[in-house]
Structure 1
């Protein structure tokens, strides 16, 4: 069976690359007029720790999303309009990650910390929903999937994405009162997605 999703995958790879590049635009070097020596430079860099945290968290979030996107499309061989639009939703949300990242880097230490974290964790709730939607649409018609894929494999991938959803909701819910804990959960979810991508690899065997 000839794979029909090559153009979708190539376009998606380009969007992921742009989205991950946009993150660095929020990292700023100090003005040479305001930083006169090494001590002042170190102090400036220390004060920018929230920007580095937000950048790192978002970079690896988008990278792991790309890895999972690549692996899920190794199971999808054909496309229809619904798959193209659900994939478009994923790409829309991925490109939007840079804005919550900027809010997090600017406001995490201040009185608006809870709102900035809520917006940040909220975007990942929506991204998780979009991944679940893509797989639901694809797996609803087995003719769209890789030849020979089993029902148990389809279910394994479905559960893999569903299991992350309640954790994202928890992170979003507690971000209004415990923003630091919500970010910690987001970091743990990165580890979960990195490990769970290996489960999709097992499906290919």
Structure 2
């Protein structure tokens, strides 16, 4: 069976690459006129720790999303309009990650930290839903998947993406009162998705 999703995958790879590159634009070096010596430069860099945290979280989030996107399209051999639009939703949300990342970097230390974290965790709720939508759209017609995939494998992949949704919702819900705890949960989810991408590979093999 000839794979029909090559153009979708190539386009998606380009969008992921752009989205991950946009993150670095919110990292700013100080003006030379404001820094007189190494001590002041070091002090400035220490004060920018929230920017580094936000950049790191978002970089690895998008990277792991790309890994999972790659793995999931190893299972999808054909495409239809619904798959293309479901994939488009993922790409739309991925490119939007840079904005809540900037909010997190600028407001995490202030009184608006709960709203900044809520927006940040909220977009990952939507991204998780979009991944679930993509797999549901693809797996609802087995003819769109690789020929040798089993019903058991289809179910395992479905459950894999569904398991993350409650945790994302918990992180979003508690972010209004406990923003730091919500970010810790987000970090734990990075590990979960990194491990789960390996499970999809094993299903493929």
User: TM class, shorter-chain normalised?
Assistant: over 0.9
What is the TM-score of this pair, normalised by structure 2? 1.00
Residue in structure 2 matched with residue 52 of structure 1 by the alignment: 52
User: Aligned-pair distance for 1:54?
Assistant: 0.1
Q: List, as ranges, runs of 4+ consecutive aligned residues in structure 1 with deviation greater than 4 Å.
A: none
Residue in structure 2 matched with residue 12 of structure 1 by the alignment: 12
User: Aligned-pair distance for 1:35?
Assistant: 0.6
Aligned alpha-carbon RMSD (Å): 0.3
Residue in structure 1 matched with residue 120 of structure 2 by the alignment: 120
The unaligned stretches of length 5 or more in structure 1 are none
Per-residue CA deviations over 1:127-169 (Å, capped at 9, x if unaligned) read 0000000000000000000011000000000000000000000
1:188 aligns with 2:152: no
Equivalent residue runs for 1:52-201 within 5 Å: 52-201=52-201
What is the TM-score of this pair, normalised by structure 1? 1.00
The unaligned stretches of length 5 or more in structure 2 are none
The number of residue pairs the alignment matches comes to 205
Give the Cα–Cα distance (whole angstroms) in 1 for the partners of residues 32 and 139 of structure 2. 56
Q: Secondary structure, in 3 states, of the residue corresponding to 1:33?
A: helix
Q: Secondary structure, in 3 states, of the residue corresponding to 1:186?
A: helix
Q: Secondary structure, in 3 states, of the residue corresponding to 2:32?
A: coil
Give the Cα–Cα distance (whole angstroms) in 1 for the partners of residues 196 and 74 of structure 2. 15
Per-residue CA deviations over 1:92-128 (Å, capped at 9, x if unaligned) read 0000000000000000000100000000000000000
